[in-house]
Structure 1
Amino acid sequence: MIDVERTVTPDEAETPIRRIAFDRPAARNALTPSGLETLFDAVVDADEPVIVLEGRGDAFCAGADLDVVSRLDRDGGRELAELGQRVARAIEACEATVVAAIDGPAMGGGLELALACDLRVATPRSTFGEPGVTFGLFGAWGGTVRLPRIVGEGPALDLALTGRTIDAETALEMGLIGRIATEPDEVVAELAANPPETLSVLCERIRDGDDAASQEEREAEAFADLVETHREALRALRE
């Protein structure tokens, strides 16, 4: 259901990458509670500086397995929502830089998990949507929090209230994804060529939701730390 593999970039740096794949292609990679638990462990146990989240088959992830959802009572529904939220928070808080390499549909909870990633790269054939409203539900794995933060309130309400599906070009224009690429791994390699500690600091700083003055104070402190870390490399650039 969740497959984990360690690879390295095909360059001199050979940066370690943890590839976490949704591996239920017959179910369009829909997630059960046990799959979410496995995904959580795969994220929090990672010691690689870059994580790639991807799907096997013709979909990225269809979200929660509706066969499971249809059998839940109220308490079970809350537990499933809280479990999905816990996984999304783990992805968002991970020290590694997490890339959602989307190839095919990213729907419902699949989109919500992608929203928790630091970078979303999609192939031209990818599609996106929050179809929960069409059967009386909504995205509860942090979707109502992250979606408006990323695309704005208006586009978030449009997607959530209509349940419509959008293509990769529309998602890019909306700011839902950062890049369209035929080969997402090329973008992963581009990212992984940079110092991992700098990537981690950048993600933390850009996502800081505190007031501007507090953000700038922490920004200055983080920059000072990196200057100290890379002092010798910076000096070499002057020679």
Structure 2
Amino acid sequence: MIRTRDDDGVRVVTIDRPASRNALRPDDLSALRTAVAEADAPVTYLRGAGDAFCAGADLDVVAALDDPAEFARAGQHTATAIADAETVVVCGIDGPARGGGVELALAADLRIATPAATFGEPGVEFGLFGAWGGTARLPRVMGEGEALDFALSGRVLDAEAALRTGLVSRIVDDPRTVADAVAEGAPDALRVTKRRVRDRRDAEAQEAAEASAFADLVEAHADDIAAMRGA
């Protein structure tokens, strides 16, 4: 199940199936999409309950699927909802992230690990691969060489290795503190920054959108800017 709680400018979304290491079923994917897409808070903090972040797809469900492609698309839509959300999504990884859990984390804006975090794409060991957008996002985040090594070998990365390869951006004891710090920013500036960094259009279109968004923010925050000049 997916639990949500709004707390001081942060929507906390918890994947709450600790007995299965937070493995996801179709209904969980749908609920996770809704929890992120409907967030009013400027920052969403995504976490797993218990001692794992997320084991990915529930293999009991996968083994009984009538339409595996539909389940793959559901995972892709959930990852896209995280990437495209108006809210900034901070993913706190404490304990194992495997398969689809890695892929959902890849879609987040910030991936923050604890020292106990580990990462793996074990699908190749039993005839599968990451089909929730992972083959597209992994090389963007890690670079093609690291992505292929990670995905093809099935090896597990600890937090330090994940930091070296760019899979996470920080290692902290409590990732929620990063979400809280991000939430101190101006909500409109957070939204605009996320959109601009994630813009995949050509450079000319990106620069035009960037200039226009910057002008809008200057107008919206003219008093704050003036106060900063006098500080």
TM over 0.5: yes
Please report how far the alpha carbon of residue 142 of structure 1 lies from its aligned counterpart in structure 2 after TM superposition.
Answer: 0.4
Letter in structure 1 aligned against 2:29: L
Q: Which residue of 2 aligns with 1:86?
A: 77
Q: 1:116 aligns with which of 107, 112, 128?
A: 107
Q: Percent identity?
A: 57
Moved over 3 A (4+): none
Larger displacement relative to structure 2 (27-36 or 217-226) = 217-226
Q: Return the letter of the residue paired with 1:129.
A: G
Q: 1:141 aligns with which of 121, 129, 132?
A: 132
Which residues of structure 1 form unaligned runs of 5+?
9-15
How many residue pairs get matched? 230
Match of 1:69 in 2: 62
1:138-171 deviation per Cα after TM superposition (whole angstroms, max 9, x unaligned): 0000000111111111111111111111011111
Work out the CA distance in 1 between the residues paired with 2:70 and 2:12: 27
Whole-angstrom distance in 1 between the partners of 2:164 and 2:214: 31
Please state if 1:198 is matched with 2:189: yes
Look up the equivalent residue of 1:48 and give its one-letter code: A
Aligned pair 1:129/2:129, yes or no?
no
- Per the alignment, residue 11 of structure 2 pairs with 18
Structure 2 distance, partners of 1:17, 1:193, is 10
Residue 218 in structure 1 maps to residue 201 in structure 2: no
Task: State the distance in 2 between where 1:198 and 1:130 align.
Answer: 35
> Which residue of structure 1 aligns with residue 153 of structure 2?
162
Quote how far apart the aligned CAs of 1:119 are.
0.5
- TM-score computed with the length of structure 2 as normaliser: 0.97
Partner of 2:7: 7
In structure 2, the partner of 1:54 is 47
Q: How far 1:21 sits from its partner (Å)? A: 0.3
Match of 2:26 in 1: 33
RMSD of equivalent CA atoms: 0.9
| Structure 2 unmatched ranges of 5 or more | none
Q: Out of 89, 94, 100, which is 1:103 matched to? A: 94
Does 196-205 or 118-127 show the bigger shift?
A: 196-205
How far 1:50 moved relative to its partner?
Answer: 0.9
Q: Following TM superposition, by how much is the alpha carbon of 1:203 offset from its aligned partner in structure 2, in angstroms?
A: 1.2
Q: SS state of the match for residue 189, structure 1?
A: helix
1: CA distance, partners of 2:199 / 2:229: 32
Counterpart of 1:12?
Answer: none
Preserved CA contact (<8 Å) 2:100 2:132? yes
How much has 1:43 moved relative to structure 2? Answer: 1.4
**More displaced, 209-218 or 88-97?**
209-218
Counterparts of 1:227 and 1:163, CA distance in 2: 48
